[in-house]
């Protein structure tokens, strides 16, 4: 997975192409991520304790990780990820364009 929970990503393909949002859930096993306000689906829900009236709710559905690209918070461009080792030996992700540290 080239992105992880909390990352700002841009959708590169599909119905929500062009939208940006943060990853709210990653599902590495399926190579899928859930991005806020992206791929919204309507769900019919029975009344429950949390939602006594039931009804229709909109909810994000997972999209494939290959359809999103990370957005660099420094240069604001969609970017591929490079890795760099800090002097401390810690591995961090950096932007291929501007070199900013993304972790």
Query: What are the residues binding Zn ion (CB under 5 A)?
Result: 72, 74-75, 95, 97-98, 100
Q: How far is the CB of 38 from Zn ion (least distance, A)?
A: 22
Q: 57 or 75: whose CB is closer to Zn ion?
A: 75
Q: Do 40 and 58 form a contact (C-beta atoms < 8 A)? A: yes
**Three-state secondary-structure class, residue 67:** helix
Q: 19 or 97: whose CB is closer to Zn ion?
A: 97
* H helix or E strand, kind and range, residue 26: strand 20-27
Q: How far is the CB of 74 from Zn ion (least distance, A)?
A: 5
Q: How far is the CB of 72 from Zn ion (least distance, A)?
A: 3
Q: 1 or 98: whose CB is closer to Zn ion?
A: 98
Q: 33 or 72: whose CB is closer to Zn ion?
A: 72
Strands (E), 1-103: 8-11, 20-27, 32-35, 40-45, 55-60, 63-64, 68-71, 78-79, 81-85, 91-95
Q: How far is the CB of 13 from Zn ion (least distance, A)?
A: 22
């Amino acid at each position: 997975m080239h992105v992880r929970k909390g990352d700002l990503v841009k959708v590169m393909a599909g119905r929500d192409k062009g939208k940006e949002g943060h990853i709210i859930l990653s599902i590495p096993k399926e190579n899928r991520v859930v991005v806020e306000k992206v791929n919204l689906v309507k769900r019919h829900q029975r009344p429950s304790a949390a939602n006594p009236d039931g009804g229709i709710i909109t909810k994000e559905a997972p999209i494939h990780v290959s359809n999103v690209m990370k957005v660099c918070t420094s240069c604001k461009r969609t970017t591929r990820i490079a890795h760099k080792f800090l002097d401390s030996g810690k591995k961090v992700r950096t932007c291929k364009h501007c070199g900013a540290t993304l972790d």
